[in-house]
Amino acid sequence: MKIGIVNDTPMMVEVLRRVIAESGRHELIWIARDGEQAVQMCAWQLPDVVLMDLLMPRMDGAEATRRIMQETPCPILIVTSDMDSSASKLYDAMGYGALDATQTPALVGAAGRRDAAALIEKIDNLGLLLPELVATAARPLAAPAGLTATTELAPLVAVGASAGGPAALSTILRQIPAGFAGAMVIVQHIDAAFAPGMAQWLQQQSLLKVRVAAEGDLPQRGEVLLAGSNQHLVFKEGGRLGYVQGSASDIYRPSVDAFFHSIVRRWPGRAVAMLLTGMGRDGAVGLKDLRDNGYHTIAQDQKSCAVYGMPKAAAALDAAQEVLPVTGMAARLQAILTGLV
């Protein structure tokens, strides 16, 4: 794949250049020293993946991501050496369409080798997620008989999102009032290291309690749980959440499909599912499984998506009962939940 680097620190540029060269299967085609130059370089020669830093002069990485996705869309991977000071800009960038984020590898040592391997794996996965290279999703799992809705459980709002998801989730959560009748669980494609920061960022946008989902959690009314591991978040026995190790070949970790299928198999209550903006097709087959088993399903419309991949795949399968703009989803959820409680 052809790679563009956007970073104003010579040492970090050298580290990334070396990691790309040592991979033996990717090519560095240009380097930009700030966001403004990155926008110009993408217009001149569009790479397969942009490795985008966040804290730069003239134009930061979040604004550069917005401009690139608006003018010359391409896969963008955030690569940062300081997650703490750049957390807000990270989620802004993902809201504009950045696909994932990872740490800048150290120059030497075991930690550097580990982070370099993680970076190359993410680049490889982005290649697999390009529309023409996306593998066919797995067949849905069969739903077991005998599960019935219980009045003790709050209605579940199950959400899957990827590129552009943070902004879409923020829009929805800002419009949900306190006293929300549902229990929301979100699977967003994001590296586990960034999940706690994203939960805190979403908490700032919401009147509901937002936190990372823990092993054994039972979704509660008025609470939002966010998948917080590179393992899959699924429902296990008794309708409690837990993490499971996926296959080494899994492109999506955590997987929306795995989560949606587990609702059919393990969640004993009522549920509504939403599939939001994202690249690829994760969640489409799971949403179809939910619809076929009587659950209410919603997909985000093309106009309001940062990346119309996952909802488009759902539309192709006729997996969504409704297709809505992100600005209308909170009100629709309120109306649907009124009929479930």
- The set of catalytic residues is 162, 189, 282
Residue 69 to residue 71: CA distance in whole angstroms: 6
Sheet with 27-32, edge to edge strand ranges: 27-32, 2-6, 49-52, 76-80, 100-103
Residue 79 to residue 191: CA distance in whole angstroms: 12
* CA triple 258-260-262, angle to 5 deg: 70
Residue 265: partners with Cβ closer than 8 Å, 6 or more residues away? 141, 143, 144, 235
- Token pair, residue 152, equals 């003790």
Residue 173 to residue 210: CA distance in whole angstroms: 10
Sheet with 296-300, edge to edge strand ranges: 209-212, 223-226, 183-188, 156-161, 271-275, 296-300, 322-324
Q: Is residue 147 within 8 Å of 118, Cβ to Cβ?
A: no
* CA triple 293-296-298, angle to 5 deg: 125
CA 320 to chain CA mean position, Å: 19
Q: Is residue 169 within 8 Å of 276, Cβ to Cβ?
A: yes
Backbone angles phi, psi at 24, to 5 degrees: 75, 0
- Give the residue among 173, 236, 230, 217 at the shortest CA–CA distance from 199: 173
Runs of H (alpha helix) within 138-276:
165-174, 195-205, 256-266
- Give the residue among 100, 226, 211 at the shortest CA–CA distance from 158: 226
Secondary structure of the chain: what % helix, strand, coil (to 5)? 40, 20, 40
